[in-house]
Amino acid sequence: MALQAFGWAAMKIERRKNGDTRDGRIRDELADILRNDSNGTPVCAPDCPKASPEHCSRQCPHIPMMMSSDPENHPLEGRIAPLVYELKRLEAFHPCWSCEGHNDPDGKLWKIPRVWFYCKSVVHLRVLANAVMELHLAKKLSVPWRVVLTFSDEDNADTTFSLEPNLDHERPLLPALQRDIDTIAEDLRELTLTEARKLSRMAR
């Protein structure tokens, strides 16, 4: 239905009628992210030399090597490794590439910090996006962070997503963005589970 206001027409977006099957799938996908708890299993790899609940954490010095598919030539960068760990810990997201951010020779921001990952559920993406938005609304981040669609290689048809800062309106210095990495890594799990619980209540 078109609405006339101030000389322009706005289209009303009707809520999609999901039906029992889709509603049930949404509930199941939210239940998946809520029941996944890696606290008792190694997050990085089953052969991690310090794989035990009391030692497995984002501060572990083995993470950059254990979470890389090519640890000798391409270990994870130290500053982004804790965020990669926390993203994988949620089990709904599968990190495949990361960057801690870099300046150019003149000291200007060249590469932004980000984590690319695979994800099968649009609902899980929404939960993740809501979680990082809550951190920004709480004024804990230097800029908003967002989840965007991307891809890894030209010859790879599989879709990936990126958790990254939104620099459309602001251009902070790299140290500020790297402090954001630390903040997101610290709060990501609890905020993501909180957002999943909120959506679960709506989906009943």
Please report the pLDDT score of residue 160 as a whole number.
Answer: 94
Higher pLDDT, 163 or 170: 163
Domain membership flag for residue 25? yes
Tens digit of each residue's pLDDT (9 = 90 or more) over 50-67: 666 567 889 888 899 999
Domain membership flag for residue 2? no
**pLDDT bracket for residue 156 (50, 70, 90):** confident
Based on the structure, what is the number of domains in the chain?
1
Sign of dihedral through CA atoms 63, 148, 120, 141?
Answer: positive
Domain membership flag for residue 9? no
Q: Which residue has the tokens 């270990």?
A: 75
Domain membership flag for residue 7? no
Instruction: Taking residues 159-169, report their average pLDDT.
Output: 94
Residue 18: partners with Cβ closer than 8 Å, 6 or more residues away: 26
Domain membership flag for residue 23? yes
Does the predicted model carry a pTM greater than 0.75? yes
Please report the pLDDT score of residue 44 as a whole number.
Answer: 82
In 3-state terms, what secondary structure has residue 70? Answer: coil
Domain membership flag for residue 4? no
Residue 3 scores a pLDDT above 90: no
Higher pLDDT, 157 or 135: 135
Give the rounded percent of residues in the chain with a pLDDT score beyond 70: 82
Residue 17 scores a pLDDT above 90: no
Backbone phi and psi for residue 84, each to the nearest 5 degrees, phi listed first? -60, -45
**Mean pLDDT over the full length of the chain:** 86
Residue 163 scores a pLDDT above 60: yes
Tens digit of each residue's pLDDT (9 = 90 or more) over 94-149: 999 999 999 999 999 999 999 999 999 999 999 999 999 999 999 999 999 999 99
Domain membership flag for residue 13? no
The residue segments making up the domain with residue 187 are 19-202
Higher pLDDT, 19 or 118: 118
Which is nearest to 97 in space by CA: 117, 120, 70? 117
